[in-house]
Structure 1
């Protein structure tokens, strides 16, 4: 069954004539978000800004799949600030925190939790494989928080979040989720899964400019925060100060107003398209790219199809492939693709399929370039045929 028939079912793509950005983030800025960046500046305490923020909060609840009263907000920083804010507010010295780590960003979670005094334990999986929910159950013990990366950007793995969340929910532990490469492109059920803290980055699936971290905080998380023995060590993102600004409209710090306006447009565009439709679009694109490149020796890095992260297509490179040389040649043609990170450097490419990158136009530019550089006649034709058939 085809999830998406033709490119005509999706909104017009932006102009890629200057640079083709196919990385796992940032992504090409949505045209509506780009226009919003140029609007005249308003003060961060202006009533129009507060009205915009209320609309953003409502849209974030829809994106994350929360309850109607769940607190949502934008942090003035990238996704890593979203990660840190959760640990800063919800972890105290000596807390037992279980971190699911099967890539670079899971291990970053562990490092941050440790810096805030947690006794960190790890559940691991080999690179390219998802976390096993049974291992989470076996190691849960008396953990007060479990942290997991939904889509591990460094390896292109989709962790089984619903299954992990069910185990954590029964234990009573808080669940923190890195949704950086899933929220806004994949349906996310924060309420149904029982997620307590979730965050992403504006520049990922929503194709807004970098500089904002959309977060959602459950009432259980706020209760844990209220029970802290000591003040939150990170003043800038203290949950109480954030709530004062976003709900009570009292001054806390100066928010990047034009980034708020730009983000609001990108988020609204995503919701208008529909999260199921966006999920279908990314899978359609991933199948076409994989089918086109397969005869050249590219293959999925993640063996199990259900464990492949749709928004970051991790492809194992052909034998004797000049990874650095080809990517440098592409860069000379104003095309950016990303190689592996750490132990996967030189082994894989990580192609971004988030937001406005998950369109035929930019990837056709890549196919044209590779057909020429690799002397691979028929590559563009295969890609077009795969798009048409839905493979």
Structure 2
């Protein structure tokens, strides 16, 4: 059986925008013996996860945090399912594929969706949010737009939304754990990420944080939450009251706990510096070949997903296929940017010198270019291995 064979790719380098290489401590945690999801030891571990998520997201001390049993897209959907009722005005910021996914989900839950749009490769303008804010019950924005490598100005957008009466929900899938994030200080009501991104845990759980304002909005619903599985009330029954709601993936909780613990031990500011330094070094190595940042405004470049416009005449599919044969995976553009850009993942364990040193060495061979590794090393500085 396939499941019984050892991996054919023990040294495969995963440099995609997700999933990321699993942290060694998370990998080991998966080997722990199974316990029941109602076991006191699991509840104790869940409590540690909740405390760690409050630090990760910069929440108020009593903010409700939890893991949803699904990937980041479930985190996205759960927010709309719990906080939107039919006919609600919802303002969605769209400048890429995942903002557009937000708009689609909100519409499926009966929202009257209005869009604030920006061209691909450009950030959302907070003034445009302010101009369309009137009457909105909820505003939704992607912090780091994975499809284009844009970092949206969430603190400025949050300042615009604050005091309007609208809730603010934020997709932090490619930022939480590697980018500054301050839920309480910024005034965010609902945030989610995916375990397989900046934390380098296996995919399958979505860490969320929910403000008191959001919980109050949920409690005042006129109709039950249409998504039973992720109803905020049911989640609190399990995570706070320790009563049964559904069977959680205990082994993924083990792994997320280990990865989260490792991230907090390393230090969030250290991780933020690490991803920036490696990204700048990769850019320094590739710029002489004609690679250029897809996002023109430096402040709007997402450090965790380095989006690079390809040189003229570059064989995107061919080079990526040749890299794959060398056990290196990189990702091209998505939708309109296919064949136009590469999106290099710099999250969690991918944001280390060794895998990018290997990528650049392979490109030296494939492109018959020398000096890529040397330029990378020269620009790198003292980034931890």
1:282-320: CA deviations, max 9, x gaps?
Answer: 000010000000011001000000000000000000000
1:203-237: CA deviations, max 9, x gaps?
Answer: 00000000000000000001100110100010000
Q: 1:325 aligns with which of 318, 322, 337?
A: 318
| Aligned: 1:27 with 2:20 | yes
Q: Residue in 2 aligned with 1:188? A: 181
Q: Residue in 1 aligned with 2:197? A: 204
Aligned structure 1 segments of 4 or more residues deviating by more than 3 angstroms: none
Give secondary structure in 2 for the equivalent of 1:88: helix
Give secondary structure in 2 for the equivalent of 1:18: coil
Q: Residue in 2 aligned with 1:240? A: 233
Q: Residue in 2 aligned with 1:249? A: 242
Matched residues in 1 for 2:183 and 2:377: separation? Answer: 37
Q: Residue in 1 aligned with 2:283? A: 290
Matched residues in 1 for 2:330 and 2:27: separation? Answer: 22
Unaligned runs of 5+ in 2: 1-8
| Aligned: 1:361 with 2:354 | yes
1:53-75: CA deviations, max 9, x gaps?
Answer: 00000000000000111000000
TM-superposed CA distance for 1:389, in Å, is 8.0
Matched residues in 2 for 1:271 and 1:253: separation? Answer: 29
| Aligned: 1:112 with 2:140 | no
TM-superposed CA distance for 1:379, in Å, is 1.3
1:59-103: CA deviations, max 9, x gaps?
Answer: 000000001110000000000000000000000000000000000
Number of equivalent positions:
375
| Aligned: 1:261 with 2:265 | no
Q: Residue in 2 aligned with 1:213? A: 206
Q: Residue in 1 aligned with 2:39? A: 46
> Residues 290 and 310 of structure 2 are in contact (CA less than 8 Å); yes or no, is this contact kept in structure 1?
yes
TM-superposed CA distance for 1:378, in Å, is 1.4
Q: 1:350 aligns with which of 315, 319, 343?
A: 343
Q: Residue in 1 aligned with 2:5? A: none
Q: Residue in 2 aligned with 1:224? A: 217
Q: Residue in 2 aligned with 1:152? A: 145
Matched residues in 1 for 2:108 and 2:302: separation? Answer: 29
Q: Residue in 1 aligned with 2:6? A: none
Matched residues in 2 for 1:186 and 1:119: separation? Answer: 32
Matched residues in 2 for 1:334 and 1:362: separation? Answer: 11
> Residues 63 and 187 of structure 1 are in contact (CA less than 8 Å); yes or no, is this contact kept in structure 2?
no
Matched residues in 2 for 1:356 and 1:220: separation? Answer: 35
Unaligned runs of 5+ in 1: 1-15
TM-superposed CA distance for 1:150, in Å, is 0.3
Matched residues in 2 for 1:19 and 1:322: separation? Answer: 22
Give secondary structure in 2 for the equivalent of 1:41: coil
TM-superposed CA distance for 1:141, in Å, is 1.1
Question: Would the alpha carbon gap of residues 193 and 288 (structure 1) be closer, same or farther in structure 2, given more than 3 Å must change?
Answer: same
TM-score by length of 1: 0.95
Give secondary structure in 2 for the equivalent of 1:171: coil
Q: Residue in 2 aligned with 1:64? A: 57
1:325-372: CA deviations, max 9, x gaps?
Answer: 000000011100000000000000000000000000000110110000
Give secondary structure in 2 for the equivalent of 1:188: coil
Matched residues in 1 for 2:240 and 2:219: separation? Answer: 17
TM-score by length of 2: 0.96
